[in-house]
């Protein structure tokens, strides 16, 4: 895997930092944040505390609150969270007019939009344009369980294209995402910076070993995440591996369907359901350490955080050779199978991965011997982008 190295490590800002030069004020905008955490939110949490720890920027995270019950302002580890109410409460549109006021009147030197799918980016980019504040955007694209919403993505990207062209920098988390959005928007691929997600996890107890036959499928319980594809493969796998069992790690609206599917296929006793509290990275490390293989059968991931965590830990991953997971297959980090594979083919791939772990004597997983992106490299990459934009002091018109 190729990681773009920052060219400098100096302070962020239009000029070299001195005792009298104020720190530039950077606002990261994300549709939701702690205590709601997913892949994008994990990315923001991991890079935000590292950027704040540098001490050369004043960092704030702006998020929405569908519940109306979270604090409007909350101090975190070296930075502050600002929240504004969004609607509707039970949907993922995140319409929040209050964001525009914070962006337009906050006196920010730079705004960074984290994510592209919801109403947060267009509302925010319009506000930044009106206030003449430079902005960058990280796509963090993902799939959707609604066929209608998925079919409308192309039109959505075309509507957003004028605002994306006015961004000072466009950031893709994978080569796939750069190629995808360059084609969808007509913006030249050279205008994109590829900055992958990190994958580091805290150390786990030294005595943890892979549990024989254990498969883990991690991610929000949505249809497009593909947990059902793993459950459908279990009956085939258990014919030759009676000890094969699945840990589904996550929560979400598709859980009832998944439980029913497991029951109807006769494998309910071989499926365990777990959901980790937000921010419990140590618990995630322990779950991965006890698995023999991760199944990543999502129909769309730009650069999956959970898969990167598994790869960094040394846990074998079997995944669909599609979208951002395809990049990891190409890099030799994930065992790829076609997205059209049926349950028997998926079962065969998982069985081979479990057998390989057993041949190794059920030893503790060891990190792969390649240079992988880390949260430190992600944060430093963002710091370099912030430096470049703040030094030019203007938006790039494309």
Strand-pairing partners, residue 255, are none
Q: Which CATH superfamily is domain 214-359 in?
A: Glycogen Phosphorylase B; (3.40.50.2000)
Does pLDDT of 151 surpass 90?
Answer: no
What angle is formed at CA 111 by the lines to CA 13 and CA 304, rounded to 5 degrees? 105
Q: Are strands 135-138 and 110-114 parallel, antiparallel or unpaired?
A: parallel
pLDDT (tens digit per residue) in 300-313: 888 888 898 898 88
Residues of 252-281 as b/e, b for ≥16 C-beta within 10 angstroms? Answer: bebbeebbebbeebebeebbeeeebeeeee
d(CA 372, CA 133) in angstroms, rounded, equals 34
Structure token pair of residue 332: 């030799």
d(CA 328, CA 341) in angstroms, rounded, equals 18
Report the phi/psi class of residue 107: left, alpha or beta, with left for phi > 0 and alpha for psi in -120 to 50: left
| Mean per-residue pLDDT, 181-203 | 88
d(CA 250, CA 295) in angstroms, rounded, equals 14
Does pLDDT of 147 surpass 80?
Answer: no
Q: How far is CA 152 from CA 38, 97, 147, 159, in A?
A: 23, 23, 9, 11
Under the banding of pLDDT at 50, 70 and 90, the label for residue 9 is: very low
pLDDT score at 200: 74
Structure token pair of residue 185: 């928007």
Quote the mean pLDDT of the chain.
87
Highest CATH level, class, for 25-197+374-392: alpha beta
Residues 6+ apart with CB under 8 A from 2: none
Structure token pair of residue 186: 């007509």
- Decide which of 394 and 201 is more confident: 201
Structure token pair of residue 368: 């792969």
Give the 3-state secondary structure of residue 199.
coil
Report H helices in the chain: 39-54, 97-105, 120-131, 147-151, 153-165, 175-185, 227-240, 255-264, 281-289, 305-313, 323-330, 343-359, 375-392
pLDDT score at 1: 45
What residues does CATH 3.40.50.2000 cover in the chain?
25-197+374-392, 214-359
pLDDT score at 111: 98
Residues of 131-158 as b/e, b for ≥16 C-beta within 10 angstroms? Answer: bebbbbbbbbbbbbbeeeeeeebeeebe
pLDDT (tens digit per residue) in 210-267: 999 999 999 889 999 999 999 999 999 999 999 999 999 998 899 999 999 999 999 9
Would you call 386 exposed, middle or buried from its count of C-beta atoms within 10 A (0-12, 13-18, 19+)?
A: buried
Q: How far is CA 251 from CA 68, 222, 295, 378, in A?
A: 21, 9, 17, 27
| Mean per-residue pLDDT, 147-173 | 82
Structure token pair of residue 326: 């395809």
- Decide which of 14 and 353 is more confident: 353
Structure token pair of residue 118: 């919801």
Nearest CA-CA partner of 232 in 270, 274, 280, 278 = 270
* pTM metric for this prediction: 0.80
Residues 6+ apart with CB under 8 A from 144: 117, 150, 153, 222, 224
Strand-pairing partners, residue 25, are 58
| Mean per-residue pLDDT, 73-80 | 94
d(CA 95, CA 110) in angstroms, rounded, equals 22
Residues 6+ apart with CB under 8 A from 351: 237, 240, 241, 244
Does pLDDT of 387 surpass 70?
Answer: yes
């Amino acid at each position: 895997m190729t990681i773009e190295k920052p060219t400098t490590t100096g302070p962020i800002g239009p000029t070299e930092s001195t005792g009298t030069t104020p720190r530039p004020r950077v606002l990261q905008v994300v549709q939701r944040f702690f205590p709601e955490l997913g892949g994008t939110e994990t990315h923001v949490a991991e890079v935000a505390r590292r950027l704040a720890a540098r001490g050369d920027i004043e960092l704030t995270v702006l998020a929405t609150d569908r519940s109306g019950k979270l604090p409007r302002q909350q101090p975190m580890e070296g930075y502050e969270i600002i929240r504004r109410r969004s609607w509707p409460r039970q949907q993922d549109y995140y319409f929040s007019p209050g964001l525009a006021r914070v962006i337009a009147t906050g006196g920010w030197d730079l705004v960074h939009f984290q994510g592209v799918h919801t109403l947060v980016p267009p509302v925010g980019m319009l506000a930044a344009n009106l206030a003449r504040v430079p902005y960058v955007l990280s796509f963090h694209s993902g799939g959707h369980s609604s066929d209608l919403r998925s079919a409308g993505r192309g039109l959505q990207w075309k509507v957003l294209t004028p605002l994306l062209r006015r961004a000072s920098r466009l950031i893709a988390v994978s080569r796939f995402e750069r190629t995808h959005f360059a084609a969808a928007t007509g913006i030249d691929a050279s205008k994109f910076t590829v900055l992958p997600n990190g994958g580091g996890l805290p150390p786990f107890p030294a005595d943890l070993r892979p549990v024989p036959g254990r498969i883990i499928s991690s991610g929000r319980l949505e249809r497009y995440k593909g947990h059902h594809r793993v459950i459908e493969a279990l009956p085939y796998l258990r014919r030759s591996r009676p000890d094969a069992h699945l840990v589904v790690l996550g929560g979400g609206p598709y859980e009832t369907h998944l439980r029913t599917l497991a029951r109807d296929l006769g494998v309910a006793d071989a499926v365990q359901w777990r959901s980790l509290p937000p921010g419990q990275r140590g618990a995630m490390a322990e779950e991965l350490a006890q698995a023999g293989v991760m199944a990543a059968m999502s129909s769309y991931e730009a650069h999956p955080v959970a898969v990167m965590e598994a790869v960094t830990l040394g846990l074998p991953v079997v995944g669909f050779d599609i979208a951002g997971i395809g990049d990891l297959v190409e890099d030799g980090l994930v065992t790829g199978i076609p997205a059209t594979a049926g349950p028997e083919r998926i079962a065969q791939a998982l069985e081979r991965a479990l057998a390989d772990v057993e041949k190794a004597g059920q030893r503790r997983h060891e990190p792969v011997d390649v240079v992988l992106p880390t949260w430190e490299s992600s944060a430093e990459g963002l710091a370099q982008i912030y430096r470049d934009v703040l030094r030019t002091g203007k938006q790039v018109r494309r």
